[in-house]
Structure 1
Amino acid sequence: MPSEMDAYTIEEFGGPDVFERTTTAVPDPAPNEIRVEVVASSVNPVDYKVRQGHIPDFAPDFPATLHCDVAGVVDATGEDVEAFEAGDEVYGMPGGVGRQGSLADYVVGHAGTFAHAPDSLSLEESAALPVVALTAWEMLADKTTVDIGDDVLVYGATGGVGHIGVQLADWFGATVTATGSSEAKRALAADLGADHTVDYTQTAVESYVADHTDGHGFDVVFDPIGDDHLNTSFEAVRPYGAVVTTESSDAGDVDLAPMHAASLELGVVLVIHPVLAGAGQERIGAELETIATLVDKGVIVPRIDARYAFDEVADAHRHAERGDFVGKLLLVNE
């Protein structure tokens, strides 16, 4: 076992070029932790927002190793770990916010933040799932209930969270309407399981509410984007319906008056909360086990837009910030 490893760290907040390849000690797992030899990670908005300094309270201590998602092979286990043993292939969300993350040869994390990786995916592909699949699952299965025949509107349907949300809503038996800003994105949304697609840049809310819900409004609006989309969500949902979102309180002007007027349910998801809080981590692993089962049943298939090596992390972050991709961007530890 080597005593040192490569890690891509930041010493300060800034642009994509702040990443530096460094050599650091291989961490040892504490009680209830496992150490994982990293095969891959992926890029999520929280990763580049931490790097930019927009959410400094979420950042690990400098020099900070970022990135939440990871897939790899268990290398060692700490005391009191019974769910995993050396050699297990796992995926999870152990750090990158609040504690050191996965952009390194090895990562340690609470055993509860991991699950056995899906059998039907490569470990590389599994690394695309944790943050986005957990978020979509909690939005649709925890913050609300989707019944067979419900009308569900999915904003950002080909983004990281959105493309999983479309697949889950379809599996729950909903009639799914998905938004997309281009013909190619709308075609992908249909391939993922959407029954209807909408060019939200050219279509008024009242038009797609009329066309796809007979004017009654959607039972559930799935909003992983926030900003003005949250205000639009309140226009699109039916009275007594539910809006589920990842919106943060500082993301812009959100008028909550329509919620009161229509007696709406609002569910907000911050899927990294157990890592930040250092409590309730088992929730992550339990949900990831469910997600792995759904992947192996063919319910969820991650869409990988591009792959980057770890030493190309700056390019991956630039790509992520431009937003000109669908699904996920992978980072592979070559």
Structure 2
Amino acid sequence: MSTSTAPTMQALVLAAPNGALTPTWLPRPQAAAGQVLVRIHASGVNPLDTKIRAGAAEHAQQSLPAVLGMDLAGVVAEVGQGVSRFKVGDAVYGFTGGIGGLQGSLAQYAAVDARLLAHKPGRLTMRQAAALPLVFITAWEGLVDRANVRSGHKVLVHGGAGGVGHVAVQLARARGAEVFATGTAAQAGYIRSLGATPIDHEVTSVEAYVNAFTDGQGFDIVYDTVGGPVLDASFVAVRRYSGHVVTSLGWGTHKLAPLSFRGATFSGVFTLLPILTGEFREHHGEIMEQATTLAEAGQLVPLLDPTSFTLDTAEAAHALVAEGRARGKVVVSVLP
């Protein structure tokens, strides 16, 4: 007489704010209708993951206990009813959970909404692919969906060497724009390697770089990925009448008068919304297919922190991000 055991998987579970990421054996999920089961190879770590862990991200609406991790790359292990875009064995990636009550990617498997996924670029490793989804979607929604970036535009990206920023620079360049990016003196070489003109924000005033690079007219698009005073600076760096300011961190209190006095427009990006509401999730998958196209063309390469992490050392990965010591996107390798 034989007995069958339901399949399990290893995951890291956060039970309480500021708690440990505890290795736990959980039932392996199954792909429901509209879902695929992904065997996760790599999990991206974003600053928001560490804020959720610290209990400082109410907007992410993640109740505990939970498996964290928003970005994944892996291979389709099972296809649910009604899914035709993917088949077993396909390499995929996407921003698929870790918020809104959805299981995250610090686990060996996840059953995810197929609309959120795209085919992984063959030119990128699993680690590189897992670094992209959240930051690329954020960059695309700001530059393309809101500001319609195109050839002829002068684009200023604040934080051009950061997670969203370095992707935004590459995206704007791929769409034909002339790109400028703020950063530190130490980041200038990397920003220049992306094809952008670096601006040392620590020594150069807004007025000085607006005059130097736009003859005082302002930039067609300003993408703020930093927030706070940098968003206020964006309002005075944008072109009069036709300029557009976009921010992914517009959470403070700001005076809109400088923007209004320039006759410019403003948009905010909240990348989590389709995950939290269930609405327009297919657009995230569409955006990630655009990322695949750019990556395959050699126009999109994420900057990875060189340190290797596994599920056993994911605590150290979180610490690196939370303490601001990462030298690129941090990724946890789930499948050795």
Matched, 1:168 2:175: no
Cα distance in 2 for partners of 1:312, 1:134 equals 27
> Hey, what does 2:89 align to over in structure 1?
87
Match of 1:64 among 66, 72, 75: 66
* Contact kept in structure 2, 1:163 and 1:327, CA below 8 Å: no
Which residue of structure 2 lines up, in the alignment, with residue 4 of structure 1? 8
Aligned to 1:45: 47
TM-align CA RMSD: 1.5
Structure-2 change in CA distance of 1:190 and 1:57 (3 Å): closer
Deviation per CA, 1:278-331, whole angstroms, max 9, x where unpaired? 222111111111110110001111111233212222211111122233431111
What is the letter of the counterpart of residue 255 of structure 1?
Answer: K
What is the TM-score when the length of structure 2 is the normalising length?
A: 0.94
Is this contact kept in 2: 1:239–1:264, CA < 8 A?
A: yes
Question: For the residues of structure 1 that align with 2:62 and 2:30, how far apart are their CA atoms?
Answer: 17
Alpha-carbon distance in 1 for matches of 2:59, 2:173: 36
- The one-letter code matched in structure 2 to 1:63 is P
Counterpart for residue 111 of structure 1: 114
SS at the partner of 1:148?
Answer: coil
2:150/2:172 contact within 8 Å kept: no
Deviation at 1:18, TM superposition (A): 2.1
Q: Could you give the per-residue CA deviations for residues 203-222 of structure 1, whole angstroms, max 9, x where no partner exists?
A: 11101111111111111111
| 1:145 corresponds to which of 143, 148, 152 | 148
Determine if contact 2:236/2:259 at 8 Å carries over to the other structure: no
Give, as a single letter, the amino acid of the residue that structure 2 aligns with 1:128. A
3-state SS of 1:65 partner? coil
Q: What is the rounded CA distance, in whole Å, between the counterparts of 2:326 and 2:74 in structure 1?
A: 25
Paired residues of 1:61 and 1:100 also in contact (CA < 8 A): no
Amino acid at match of 2:312: D
How far is the alpha carbon of 1:146 from its aligned partner? 2.0
User: CA 1:62 to 1:40, structure 2 compared with 1: closer, same or farther past 3 Å?
Assistant: same
The equivalences for 1:16-55 within 5 A come to 18-55=20-57
SS at match of 1:202: coil
Q: Does 1:132 align with 2:132?
A: no
Match of 2:257 in 1: 257
Query: How many equivalent residue pairs?
Result: 328
Deviation at 1:2, TM superposition (A): 6.4
Displacement of 1:70 in angstroms is 0.2
User: What secondary structure is seen at the aligned counterpart in 2 of 1:283?
Assistant: helix
Output the CA distance in 2 between the equivalents of 1:134 and 1:265. 21
Q: Cα distance, 1:74 vs. partner?
A: 0.5
| Alignment partner, residue 298 of structure 1 | 298
Aligned 8 A contact 1:243 1:265 in 2:
yes
Q: Percent of pairs identical after alignment?
A: 39
Aligned to 1:270: 270
Q: Note if 1:159 corresponds to 2:162.
A: yes
Deviation at 1:178, TM superposition (A): 1.1
2:231·2:250 contact (CA, 8 Å) conserved in 1? no
Deviating more after overlay: 81-90 vs 166-175: 166-175
Matches within 5 A, 1:280-291: 280-291=280-291
Take 2:301 and 2:97, find their aligned partners in 1: how far apart are those partners? Answer: 24
Q: Give the TM-score of the pair, scaled to structure 1.
A: 0.94
Q: 1:272 to 1:158 in 2, by over 3 A?
A: same
Structure 1 segments unaligned to the other structure (5+ residues): none
Deviation at 1:57, TM superposition (A): 4.7
